[in-house]
Amino acid sequence: MTQIETPAALDQSKFGVSCKAGDVATLTTSADSLVIEASLRIASSNATEHWPCVNIYSWEEGDGSLALQIVAFHPDWEEALQIAYFRSPSKDASPSGPALERDFEHKRARRSSESAR
């Protein structure tokens, strides 16, 4: 939790994230949307670059449910691949329904560019 956020503020936020970058930095916060990119250093054409391998996108759906999509990228692929998708129930969902929907079927990432808002 960052110093300026209270537990009440965290409860009202739609998404939470906690990151650790080696021994250098730690970030724990919450927000109404997230776009996270994780990259690796690779060698290509006699140069090195950081290639984004995994992105995490989040958004609120029209029915009030919250969605989180994990997308993988590879230099040899023509398009990104969704590797996981999670969705909370809508605001009108039955309390006896599932707490969280999930989809682990690998498929073409269709929302990633839309959700990077």
Could you tell me which residues come within 8 angstroms of residue 34 by beta carbon, excluding any fewer than 6 positions away?
A: 15, 17, 56, 57, 58, 68
> Between β-strands 66-72 and 25-31, what pairing exists: parallel, antiparallel or unpaired?
unpaired
Please report, in tens digits, the pLDDT of each residue of the chain (117 residues total). 344 455 555 567 899 988 888 888 888 888 898 899 999 998 877 889 888 999 999 999 999 999 999 999 998 899 999 999 999 998 888 888 888 999 999 998 875 444 433
Could you tell me if 29 and 6 are in contact, meaning their C-beta atoms sit under 8 angstroms apart? no
Hey, where are the domains in the chain? 1-31, 33-115
**Distance in angstroms (rounded) separating the CA atoms of residues 111 and 86:** 13
pLDDT in tens, 59-80: 999 999 999 999 999 988 999 9
Beta bridge mates, 57: 35, 69
- pTM for this prediction: 0.76
